[in-house]
Amino acid sequence: MPQRLKDDVRDRILAAAARTFAERGYLQATLADIARAADIAPSNIYKYYENKQALFDAIVTPALAARLFRLLRARLREFDTLGSWSGAHADGSAHAKALLDFWVEHRLAVLILLNGAEGTRFASVRERMAQEMTRQAARFVRRQTAAEPDPHFDLVLRQVFANTVAMIAAILERYASGADIAKAFATFWTYQLAGLEALVRNRNRGTRLRSRPL
């Protein structure tokens, strides 16, 4: 019985810490905030975790961050094989479904990585996600056409994916249920995939026009 009580307290601390880090970020969250959310005395946290960093490390791990990037890269590489991007949502893509399931299962940890990791080893995750999306998209465009570098296109692409990461965070922050998260991403992907496909298509069309002999 005493051991079960300890496990229950640990679970309450972890759940409260995940919510607090997601809402306030690592730097702004305090152990007092977490203790209040867990309905325990702050001193009780130290029975389980040495400090705030140790508590954060128990929630957001290198393995979890690495898996996020593996799933993201698999999702991005899939676009090379698709005739049309408009169907690459969770119902039409196993890689999209796997990424969505990961976001649902680890909602608060992913939200911390995207919005609340400043001051930790994961502070660059949000920027790295946008960079990875931009790199893969630019790589796809280079393979599709012999286009010369276009700083205007590159700027738009970078901003598109910075906004994409912001939207991922916004959806995970707004919704807690898997059904709501799935519906929100279905709506977002319908808009985003069509827009990206049109952007790349217009880029390719412009390149072909410029390459025609006069």
Calpha distance 32→37 (Å, rounded): 9
What pLDDT is recorded for position 208? 45
- 35, with CB counted inside 10 A (0-12, 13-18, 19+), is buried
> For the chain (length 214 residues), average pLDDT per consecutive 10?
66 97 97 96 93 97 97 86 65 88 98 97 96 84 68 87 95 97 93 78 56 38
How far apart are the C-alpha atoms of 15 and 12, rounded to whole Å?
5
**Of 85, 81, 82, residue with least CA distance to 197:** 85
How confident is the model at residue 146, as a pLDDT?
61
Position 214 scores a pLDDT of 34
pTM here is: 0.86
- The DSSP symbol for 50 reads S
Question: What is the reported pLDDT for 147?
Answer: 61
Q: Taking Cα atoms as reference points, which of 93, 107, 79 lies closest to residue 186?
A: 93
pLDDT at site 206:
53
Task: Kindly state which CATH superfamily the domain 2-57 is placed in.
Answer: Homeodomain-like (1.10.10.60)
For the chain, the domains span: 2-57, 60-211
Per the rule left: phi > 0, alpha: psi between -120 and 50, beta: everything else, 62 is alpha
* CA–CA gap between residue 199 and residue 142 (Å, rounded): 14
